[in-house]
Amino acid sequence: MATPSFESSRTRAMWRTCLASALRTALACTIVGVATLFGPQYIKKQIAFPAFSYVTVILVVTDATLGDTFRGCWLALYATIQGVCPAILSLWLIGPARLTAGTTAIAVALSAFVVVLPENTHLIAKRIALGQIVLVYVIAYINGGQTETIMHPVHVAASTGLGVVACVLALIFPYPCLACCEVKRNCKLFAENASERFNLFVKAFTAEDNSCALAFISQAKSLVKTGSKLLQGIKTKQESMKWERFPFKFLRPYGENPGSRFQDVQTPLRGMEIAFDNSPSFPVGILNSDQKSVLHMLGENISKQVNNMSLESSATVPESNQENTQKFFQTLQPTKKDLPSLFFLFCLNLLLNKPITNSSSSTNPKQQNQQGFFQNYLSITKSNKRFMAAFKCSLSLGLAIYFGSIYSKDNGFWAGLPVAISLAGSREATFKVANVKAQGTVLGTIYGILGCFVLEKYVQIRFLSLLPWFIVSSFLRQSTMYGQAGGLSAIIGALLILGRKGFGPPSEFAIARITETFIGLSCSIIVEILLQPTRATTLAKLQLSKSFEILNESISLISFGSIGNLVESQNKLKSHIIEMGKFIAEAEAEPNFWFVPFHGVCYRKLVGSLTKMFEYLHFGSQAFMLLEQESGGSIDNFVHKLDGDIKLFKDFVGSSMKCFEEVSLVKSLVILDKEFEKKKLSVDVELGTSQSSSYCNIIRYASEEEIDENFRSYFEHSKEFVDQIVNGEELKGQVVLSLSALGFCMDGLVKETKEIEKAIREVVQWENPSSHVNLHDISCKVRALANIIVAN
């Protein structure tokens, strides 16, 4: 089997990546250490803050390529313009001798607010600028009137520059670490991964018994996570490739977006996996021995083409294979029981032909006005979020500097520096991140003290003991327990002990720094709690309700002629599902205190079902677009019939989403019942005979018989449509696949709707253990109350 060898190569690649990153980081730190310890006196005088040089190295060079460091040079320059240049003017106006703990904290807070507020500034630039601001103002406060107004900020800028130069040199020697080489390597590994998965899927599809098919599917699924990581690695390094082209003109001009071409392979493979998840048993009934032979031959050729994909070229299918494909697809007929198999072949067809996109821009003026209002609303919302993020950062930094300076004037900047250099680009789990930062700092500091003890007689070279710690920290960053925040804190904790000078005995400095770090993290937590009182649990519920709303909107757009709007709605749904996943991860990490424990398992199920529904919508929209493309105007006579068949599915799924949207926001059933009784609404939910009965018809409960009958009608109309095609047998096969894929996606939407209903009921019951849960009843009461309030 090829799978074990692939897994072993993946393991070697992971080790190679971690070791390479550790060695490059160690080389950069060595350059800084040599320059500050053994360099000319003039350079040593200018580099007055070697500790910040090390910090700059960690911020720029961690997991970086040469393109990243070139970008880091520009970001460091931009950060210096933002941080150091205004500080020179401020020190000149205020005067270092007049600085107190309070004025220093205010100056740092105001400067931090100006740096963090702009949206387009890169996170690395913000972190470097904030670190410079802390050093400039707090060191000026410590030294008082002895501080040189101009040269002191210049020394901070020079220390930053040394770190950046060390990063560039470390990424060039002994050989350049180029992003294009890393992307090419990931492209090759992804192509091998995709080819292996495709081979296993074809073997499973043509297997003669159920056990063999399940074994092949299990092997293929074990490779999915690796393939996703490789594809993500390709996408994340595309920006770095652009930075490498300018200084290295000899590099070949690779495609602007190689990740999109490989995504065109990943998506059909995901569809094949979905098809197998819905297959009841094997062997597949629609294939005879001749068709299996053709499929094997076709699969081998496609596998070779996928395996030969590179950074420069996509997978192409020879004309002989296209002829075999057309002959193979001509024999197919749409049937309900064969939907998973036909959907597998539909995804195979997508793999052969690049997925199409809707290019229509037929938006009426009303829709344009609505979109304009929505864009304005988003702009206002984003502005408020940016303002609040900048305010929280400035307040956290100001309080950290103030209390850190009160505790120890000489070490006060160590309270602000961890807050500055760990600025987050988005909302994060406050308590979890603070915990891993504290643990990482303590681990790194202890390692630094031990290193100082072991190399006590070799003070000038003790920073070389950092190499093993860099390797360990590289694995810490990859771990789930510590992540990037904990791993970076561990590196910096050891660096500032082993690479320091002039801070007294290691043990005393370690205790002072740990205490100051605790002060800084405590200030961050307090500010987050005071200014961000909405718990992640609440945000997850709100995001869930919003996802149901957008999903309902997407379901309503499932029809011929509105595919462009459906694709746009899908993109909104995807972003909301991703955001919801982040809130769930944060909610699982935050302490419960006196609140009801967060039901993370059930919310994960909901995210999984929503993701599947998004995938069904995506493949359904592809089927719609292929139908319109392949059939031309011949489908116009059947649009009304097919849309009528689709309507029942839309009614059932859409009304259910509306119900879930309302029910998911209910905090307490007891309070809802009391409010309902207070309004004196006598609503007989089950009989629906009251004055508010019009509010209760929210869910369209379709029986299994109705759904099956609707499927029969859909396939009858589909068969009529296929039979009236006179342009050739080749076109019929393509149309059959598209119609079958559309039916499969509708069936999948119905199934996932039922799964979501179970999960929502479980969540509501978890939050209201003493109440009887009836989703239809709850939704009726919510709707009735809302309408009564509006009426009054």
Say what the pLDDT of residue 707 is: 77
Q: State how far the Cα of 188 lies from the Cα of 234, in Å rounded to an integer.
A: 11
- 80: confidence class by pLDDT, cuts 50, 70, 90: very high
Those residues whose C-beta lies under 8 Å from the C-beta of residue 622, and which sit 6 or more positions away, are 350, 355, 356, 741
Give the pLDDT score at 5.
54
Q: By the 8 A CB rule, do 397 and 127 touch?
A: no
Q: What is the pLDDT of residue 173?
A: 87
Peptide bond into 591 cis (omega under 30): no
* Four-residue CA torsion sign, 283, 287, 291, 294: negative
What is the per-residue pLDDT for 560? 72
Query: What value, to the nearest 5°, has the Cα angle with vertex 251 and ends 245 and 257?
Result: 65
Question: Phi/psi zone of residue 384: left (φ > 0), alpha (ψ -120 to 50 degrees), beta?
Answer: alpha
Q: Copy the structure tokens of residue 321.
A: 């294979």
pLDDT number for residue 304: 78
Q: Please give the structure tokens belonging to residue 732.
A: 């019929």
Residues 6+ apart with CB under 8 A from 228: 266
Closest Cα partner for 532 from 636, 735, 388, 431?
Answer: 388
The SS3 assignment for 89 reads helix
CA dihedral 433, 436, 437, 439 (to 10 degrees): 160
Q: How far apart are the first and last CA of the chain?
A: 71
Radius of gyration of the chain (CA): 31
**Nearest Cα residue to 28 out of 55, 56, 57:** 57
More confident residue, 18 or 92: 92
Give the model confidence (pLDDT) of 237-275 as tens digits.
888 888 887 655 555 545 557 788 888 899 999 999 999
Q: What is the mean pLDDT of residues 167-179?
A: 90
542 vs 625, residue with greater confidence: 542
Paired tokens of 547: 């996802």
Reply yes or no on whether the pLDDT at 123 is more than 90: yes
- At residue 111, does pLDDT exceed 70? yes
What share of residues in the chain are helix, strand, coil (percent, to 5)? 80, 0, 20
* Mean pLDDT, rounded, of the chain: 82
Predicted pLDDT at 558: 82
pTM here is: 0.84
Q: How far does Cα 749 stand from its chain's mean position?
A: 24
CA 731 to CA 578: how far, in whole Å? 38
Residue 778, pLDDT above cutoff 80: yes
Share of the chain above pLDDT 70, in %: 82
Q: What is the pLDDT of residue 577?
A: 94
Over the stretch 480-539, which tens digit does the pLDDT of each residue have? 788 888 888 888 888 777 766 666 677 787 888 889 989 998 998 889 888 876 778 888
pLDDT tens column, 402-456: 999 999 998 898 899 989 988 887 777 777 888 888 888 889 989 988 888 887 7
Confidence tier at 72 by pLDDT (50, 70, 90)? very high
Separation between Cα atoms, residue 98 and residue 91, nearest integer Å:
10
Residue 664 has pLDDT above 70, yes or no: yes
Max avg pLDDT among 229-243, 622-636, 690-704:
229-243
Which has more confidence, 788 or 75?
75
Cis, bond preceding 283 (omega within 30 deg of 0): yes
Q: Is the pLDDT of residue 735 over 70?
A: yes
So what's the pLDDT on residue 7?
56
Cβ(342)–Cβ(744) below 8 Å: yes
Predicted pLDDT of residue 372: 47
Could you count the other beta carbons within 10 Å of the beta carbon of residue 380?
Answer: 10
Task: Kindly state the average pLDDT of the residues 462-469.
Answer: 79
Q: Which of 6-15, 217-226, 289-298 has the highest mean pLDDT?
A: 217-226
Instruction: Write a three-state SS string for 564-600.
Output: HHHHHHHHHHHHHHHHHHHHHHHHHHCCCCCCCCCCH
DSSP string, 97-137: GG--HHHHHHHHHHHHHHHHS-SSS-HHHHHHHHHHHHHHH
Q: Please tell me the predicted confidence (pLDDT) of residue 513.
A: 82
Within a 13 Å sphere around the CA of 422, how many CA atoms are in the beta-carbon half?
31
Interatomic CA distance for residues 452 and 460, integer angstroms: 11
* Contact of 67 with 244, CB cutoff 8 Å: yes
CB 635 within 8 A of CB 721: yes
Q: State the average pLDDT over residues 348-371.
A: 55
CA distance 728 to 160: 69
Distance CA 177, CA 419 (A): 31
Percent of the chain at pLDDT above 90? 31
> Residue 578: is its pLDDT beyond 90?
yes
**Which of these, 111, 90, 116, 55, lies nearest to 398 by C-alpha position?**
111
User: Does 371 have pLDDT greater than 50?
Assistant: no
State yes or no: pLDDT of 686 exceeds 60. no
CA distances from 668 to 300, 307, 773 (A): 58, 55, 11
Q: What is the pLDDT of residue 363?
A: 43
Q: Is the pLDDT of residue 133 over 70?
A: yes
The confidence band for 326, taking pLDDT boundaries of 50, 70 and 90, is: low
Q: Rounded to whole angstroms, how far apart are CA atoms 310 and 189?
A: 10
Q: Residue 362: pLDDT band by 50, 70, 90 thresholds?
A: very low
301-310, 391-400, 428-437, 445-454: least confident range: 301-310
